[in-house]
Structure 1
Amino acid sequence: MAHDSLVDALVNRLRDDVLARRYPAGSRLPPERDLAASYGVTRTSLKHALVRLAQAGLVETRHGVGTVVLDYRRHGGPDLLPMLLTHALGDGADDRWLTEVFEVRQEVGAVVAARAAAHRSADQADALRAQMAAVTSARDADAAQLAEAEVHRMLAAAAGNRVYELLVNSLLKAYLEVRSLFRAPFADPAVAGARLAPLVDAVCAGAPDAARTAAEAYLARTRELMLGR
């Protein structure tokens, strides 16, 4: 197995063990030599995996102490969302994360759409229409899904607040890493584009209230199709 793939797999296993509280917040992980042996990997691979978990806010390596498990609800940020969503899709995992990610996606998306309608430029409106057409004319579900994700990035850019852009980036990163599981709304790209049209039309028309309503309806419907509920 390639080293990167091995580290990816190790990150996933350690993440699941931390989130499942096999290693509770405040506890120390076993010494690196023992931990590497328990997962059947080298210490080098383990070190790479621990760096990634530290970047996500799950652990912290302290000099003279070892690697300590953090309370991710205090130390984690939006970059942890991809890990949490992947964990939520695992067997026996806490699927509330899945529900909560989609809730925030809908709430943030509605605010972003309303702001985009109020602040978008003529050039941004033209670009949004062109991107919606790219969804409709996509060659397959995967291409339509990626084209639709770009619509949300463009809406965030049009909203006139860079913090919303970063929030949307975090939500999209969480979603796109497991997008193959959520392809149902894009099985027919033409239908997907038609479903998206009221949202884009409202933003391009400069109608914030209509854009908010359209975004809520669109995101609620895609959520139903993605989750089957």
Structure 2
Amino acid sequence: MQVLVASRNRKKLGELERVLAAAGVRGIELLTLRDVAEYPETPETGATFEENALIKARDGVRYAGLPTVADDSGLCVDALNGMPGVLSARWSGGKNSPVLSDHDDVDAANNALLLAQTADVPADRRGAAFVSACALVLPAELAARTGLDAENTVRGTWAGTLLTAPQGDNGFGYDPLFAPAEEPGRSSAELAPERKDELSHRGRALAQLVPMLQTLSRVGD
């Protein structure tokens, strides 16, 4: 059974591959947006992570005709009243941001801006959490065959603190700035992939999709 992961980020694909392997799920072939014909992507205008994940997953079903997994995730910082939140990926303004001209990529620009905004926040107020909402949307016929809901969403949360400087070279996004509660003093960009899968917001959300993906894998038998 082919399942589309509505992303071009192969690290996200790798996370789901490892989660499925750890759960012993076979018979699922994961594809990314790089593997299907290009299609117009609906702007992510949702007010919640779940709404944005559903927007992306619905597009995959509509245009590629495949069951589609999509996630929307971000960093919620206590001192910023939960921001960047759903704006995490474009916190510095996106690809056309003037902040980007001073940095190598959007991730670096986002991180630099967040550090500047929280530079004076004391250690006891640097609480933060990564949040991931994952959606699994199925073509109507497949939902009827499997008995699964056509639209499904799950959420995973990973609590920790915001560091004052980047640490580590693994991961992506805000990983170098986030110290998990389970690994004090270390950033999520310093964790082995397997440890990150075990703890992370996305890993926790994806794990909740495993029973549904297991059902899909049996359809392909």
- TM-score category, normalised to shorter length: under 0.3
Q: Under a length normalisation based on structure 1, what TM-score does the superposition of the two structures give?
A: 0.23
Q: Which has the higher helix share?
A: 1
Larger radius of gyration: 1
Q: Which has the higher strand share?
A: 2
Q: Under a length normalisation based on structure 2, what TM-score does the superposition of the two structures give?
A: 0.23
